[in-house]
Structure 1
Amino acid sequence: MSDHTALSGTPIGSLDISGHGDDTALRPPRTLLVAAGAWAAAGVVTLFWPNIQEFARTSDLAVAQWIVALLLVVGYALHARLGKVGRWFGTNAARLAGLAVLLSIWQIASAKIGLWPQPYIPPPQGVIDAYVTDWKRLVDSVAASLVLLSTGIAAGAAAGFVTGLATGWTRKVGYWTNPVLRLIGPIPATSLIPIALFLFPTSFSASVFLVALATWFPVSVLTWSGVASVDSSYYDVARTLGARQRFLLLKIAIPGSLPHVFVGLFMGLGSAISVLVAAEMVGVKSGLGYYLDWAQGWAAYGHLFGGLLVMAVLFSSLTTLLFRFRDRLLIWQKGEVQW
């Protein structure tokens, strides 16, 4: 094919004859500078606006805010060289600016003018002080929650997958499991806390059971739905080619139900987290739920808000990891379920 033929369908106005290319994508967004200004102003408010009372870590917070502002300026200056990091800064510049504004509002309402009563809603430096002085207890609480949550979810997901698979695959099994799912499944797991604490020898085993129960129901129902939704023509074609029941189950039913299984896992994770926090507050003497209950009992509201923030980041990260794993395993459905 000649050069004339290759370029004949391309408008001349769209050809780049300068040799430099379009560098629009390499230009740093000016919202980075706006965000840097917002963080710098937030630091000024934190340090130079007098507090209504003495709060520890006020100057440390101001310095941290100015460091963020400096990083945003560096991100603006080196945007083209930072690759993915630079693109992340550019994409989230407006959000970072909004975060600085929210922190300033929080700072002013709590520490500067006393609109929010103390000590019930501490300023941001109160949360930072909780992290600095009580980081070891927080780390231990996160580790305890992860152990309990992972144990319960693993047991509940395995049991739910087997239950849903058997219910959707075999009518004889479904005859017995269907009423159980309909009767027991909708019961909130938290309502069973008193019974579980009585039946199980330790509060930890009772909490594992409750987390597993909260995971079991959505995984069972969605797996059952996934198996039932597989097109029957796939089975017919496989049988025509001589496939046996084991092949139909392992190569058609299970792969076809996996998208539904992950939806059930997502729902089960949310339910399990709710049950986990409630169980730790009532029975288990460790974990983030217990930490929040302890902080409230001692009126340590900085620790309370700090624990809530750690909880939000931790559980959001777990959900993100679940969706990343789903996208890698079900590559053909990547992006269909957003998080």
Structure 2
Amino acid sequence: MRKFLKKYTITILIGVAAILAWEILTRYGEVNPVIFPQLIKVFGVFFNDAKELMLGLASSLKLLVPAYVGSVILGIGGGLFFGLNNRIRHILMPYVHLLSPLPPTLFIPYAIAVLPSFQSASIFLIFIGTFWPIFLGSLQGVLIIEKHYLDNAKTLGLKGNDFLFKVIIPAASPYILSGAGSALTMSFLILTMAEMFGAESGMGYFIQYYTDFAQYDYVIAGMIFNSAVILIALLLFEKFKKRLLFWTNLKADSN
């Protein structure tokens, strides 16, 4: 605990200063009390409507989890496949360069028209937005592997699954996980956007619903809740990433 406080002392002080500034402005400043509610009202939402917030989180995860898991599986698999097959990569990479920069919002009209429900359309949009960072990260990870590592693996007789899981994936894993981290952030962005414009539940819906009724204490509480969920998810991912890439930390320490 002492080590944590020492490391994040300035960070904590900035947060405390922001809270104090908000409290002073809403109590003594000439600000609109509807748009800028006092913090006691905002935090009161967490006590009075915690169940609604948690139900919204559960609804959001039903969309986010299958989309993200699907993008991880297909993104890593596709990236490794393209990286290891020069002929196929040469033929299809122009299409990758064409499609990967397109924002998921461009697919909204077709997602709504073709897919049977809002849930399936949202999962599709999240998948589209998260697939490319993982795919491109995996592809880049394979392409940057130094040739002498591959030659050494062939000399040792490694091939098939042994070659893939003992050489390719470990060597490419920093880029794979970097792409997966970017995709995780993107998934929350697309999720919130989708829920604010078409959902009947979820974290984004919570904010949009109370915005329509000008209940900004609920809006700010929803924003804080969303931020906390995203922060926790990213911190857990970073912890998972560091554990998988422990060998990179050892290499850095040795240098």
Distance 1:291 1:229 in 2: 44
1:94: how far off? 4.4
Question: Which structure has the larger Rg?
Answer: 1
1:105: how far off? 1.4
SS at match of 1:295: helix
Show the counterpart of 2:65: 150
Show the counterpart of 2:47: 132
Q: Which of 196, 213, 217 pairs up with 2:132?
A: 217
CA offsets, 1:182-239, max 9 Å, x none?
1111111123222211111111111111111111001111100100111111121222
1:90: how far off? 4.3
User: Structure 2: which amino acid aligns with 1:229?
Assistant: I
1:172: how far off? 3.3
Q: In the alignment, is residue 269 of structure 1 matched against residue 184 of structure 2? A: yes
Q: Which of 83, 94, 102 pairs up with 1:168?
A: 83
1:179: how far off? 2.6
Structure showing greater relative contact order (alpha-carbon pairs closer than 8 Å, 6 or more residues apart): 2
Deviates more, 1:145-154 or 1:218-227: 145-154
Show the counterpart of 2:37: 122
Cα 1:119–1:224 change in 2 (3 A) is same
Deviates more, 1:115-124 or 1:301-310: 115-124
Show the counterpart of 1:247: 162
Q: Identity of aligned pairs, percent?
A: 26
Could you say what the CA RMSD is over the residues aligned between the two structures, in angstroms?
A: 1.8
1:84-103 matched pairs, under 5 angstroms? 85-103=1-19
Show the counterpart of 1:110: 26
Q: In the alignment, is residue 288 of structure 1 matched against residue 200 of structure 2? A: no
CA contact (8 A) 1:226 1:261 kept: yes
CA contact (8 A) 1:207 1:284 kept: no
Distance 1:276 1:212 in 2: 10
Distance 1:98 1:225 in 2: 38
Hey, which of these two has a bigger chunk of helix by percent?
2
Q: Can you give the 5+ residue segments of structure 1 that lack an aligned partner in the other structure? A: 1-84
SS at match of 1:179: helix
1:305: how far off? 0.3
1:329: how far off? 0.9
Cα 1:320–1:108 change in 2 (3 A) is same
Distance 2:76 2:10 in 1: 42
CA contact (8 A) 1:223 1:257 kept: yes
Distance 1:261 1:122 in 2: 43
1:283: how far off? 2.1
CA contact (8 A) 1:169 1:227 kept: yes
Cα 1:190–1:242 change in 2 (3 A) is same
Distance 2:7 2:152 in 1: 48
Cα 1:255–1:301 change in 2 (3 A) is same
Deviates more, 1:161-170 or 1:192-201: 192-201
Distance 2:181 2:197 in 1: 25
Q: Can you give the 5+ residue segments of structure 2 that lack an aligned partner in the other structure? A: none
User: Structure 2: which amino acid aligns with 1:159?
Assistant: L
Deviates more, 1:115-124 or 1:210-219: 115-124
Show the counterpart of 1:39: none
Cα 1:95–1:263 change in 2 (3 A) is closer
Distance 2:16 2:248 in 1: 36
TM-score, normalising length: structure 2? 0.91
1:244: how far off? 2.6
TM-score, normalising length: structure 1? 0.70
Cα 1:322–1:127 change in 2 (3 A) is same
1:284: how far off? 2.3
CA contact (8 A) 1:120 1:301 kept: yes
